[in-house]
Amino acid sequence: MTTAPSTRPGPGDPHHIGILLFDGVEELDAVGPWEVLSWWTRSYPEDGYTASTFSTDGSAVTCNKGLVISPHHSRDDVPEMAVLLHPGGDTRALSADDEHLEWLRKQRTVVPLLTSVCTGSLVYAKAGLLRERPATTYWNALGGLTENDPTIEVRADDRWVDDGDVVTAAGVSAGIDMALHLVRRLAGPDRAREVRRGIQYDPEPPV
Amino acid sequence: MTTAPSTRPGPGDPHHIGILLFDGVEELDAVGPWEVLSWWTRSYPEDGYTASTFSTDGSAVTCNKGLVISPHHSRDDVPEMAVLLHPGGDTRALSADDEHLEWLRKQRTVVPLLTSVCTGSLVYAKAGLLRERPATTYWNALGGLTENDPTIEVRADDRWVDDGDVVTAAGVSAGIDMALHLVRRLAGPDRAREVRRGIQYDPEPPV
């Protein structure tokens, strides 16, 4: 297992948040956190963070439900990251892609904070990044965590699991809550409340 | 004021839901409902609905926080709509675009159900489509409704307002709740609950 760097970037360190896009990414897994994090970083540049999206080669991706999104960067030109966010969706190809898994293991040595939404955590598990850690994922994929790594302590009922330098979230819409948790962690609860107000996040599920 | 057609498409009628994209559209305004509606229509084709996104000329749009999304259609080749969803964001250009407002008035005569998220309702108001109706919008834009049309009954505290053939939602994240309401209205509460479970929409705002 590789050693994770400090999770709090110091002054002068990069404060960039990169959201990975890939063919099959679930739309809201990526765009929910993007809304939260781009709202935060663009409204409060004084906090020193920026956010962008990237795909492996910088090409547009076709999401799991058919939306086509063009990332800001490729994996090679995305700014040095303080936080990586790995969404889920149809992650089967990524989990079978040794090159992607090796890239993730490399990120573990240089990115202070790895985060995931939904089945993004299955890819982390496959890469060995959740060894002997608590973690969660989409409700219908919980078994996949221990199939990939039996040492993972599955937290089935948590909306997100913050294990210091790794934060995993439950499915799809849970990425919004996890991203607000990130804002709270990186910039404090008052800021997180301002962002929540900004996106008028007072959910009222009708059913 | 134009007369709205029946809000329930009959057998053989088109059952398509079109989500408008435009430069300045707020990301979650569009993608929140897209996640709900695409999940529903792709998981349950037996319900007879389909969903897509479109922009005026079919070109990619740059959203309000900088994400670039490629629509499925242009305004001219989007399938005949049973439901139009007009997101918000930076809607100033659309509200000043007589050609867009005229297009919206035309839609009122052929699309059974007009819906909006956030400041999308300001554009409907400007087009005269909310005359003497109850409606809502983003919390910080409520005054814009009556500035555009003093006959509107503003519902400041509602997550969404269903006025039969027009449904307006509050800001940004409210589009998720409104879209689930649409699923309930068009396919019943059991289906809406299944979609809610699908996107694991058990919100837990951390602040």
Q: Which residue of B has its CA nearest to A53?
A: B67
* C-beta neighbour count of B151 within 10 angstroms: 11
* pLDDT band at B13; cut points 50, 70, 90: low
* pLDDT band at B4; cut points 50, 70, 90: low
Nearest-Cα distance to chain B for A81, in Å, is 18
The conformation of residue B11, written as its DSSP 8-state character, comes to T
Which residues constitute the domain of residue A83? 16-196
Q: Is the pLDDT score of B49 beyond 70?
A: yes
Distance CA(B107)–CA(B89), nearest Å, equals: 21
Report if residue A5 sits inside a domain.
no
Report if residue B206 sits inside a domain.
no
What pLDDT was estimated at residue A14? Answer: 60
What pLDDT was estimated at residue A1? Answer: 44
CB contact under 8 A, A31 and B28: yes
* pLDDT band at B2; cut points 50, 70, 90: very low
What pLDDT was estimated at residue B203? Answer: 98
pTM: 0.95
pLDDT tens per residue, range B101-150: 999 999 999 999 999 999 999 999 999 999 999 999 999 999 999 999 99
**pLDDT-flagged residues of chain A (< 50):** 1-2
What pLDDT was estimated at residue B1? Answer: 44
* pLDDT band at B6; cut points 50, 70, 90: low
Report if residue A22 sits inside a domain.
yes
CB contact under 8 A, A172 and B198: yes
Report if residue B9 sits inside a domain.
no
Distance CA(A160)–CA(A178), nearest Å, equals: 6
Report if residue B4 sits inside a domain.
no
Task: Give the CATH number, domain containing residue B180.
Answer: 3.40.50.880
Report if residue A6 sits inside a domain.
no
Domain count, chain B: 1
Report if residue A178 sits inside a domain.
yes
Q: Is the pLDDT score of B3 beyond 80?
A: no
E-strand spans in chain A? 16-20, 50-55, 61-62, 68-70, 73-74, 81-86, 113-116, 134-135, 153-154, 160-162, 166-169
Q: Which two tokens stand for residue B159?
A: 């997550």
Distance CA(B63)–CA(A9), nearest Å, equals: 29
pLDDT tens per residue, range B144-203: 999 999 999 999 999 999 999 999 999 999 999 999 999 999 999 999 999 999 999 999
* Partners of residue B51 on adjacent β-strands: B17
Report if residue A161 sits inside a domain.
yes
Nearest-Cα distance to chain B for A127, in Å, is 25
What pLDDT was estimated at residue A2? Answer: 47
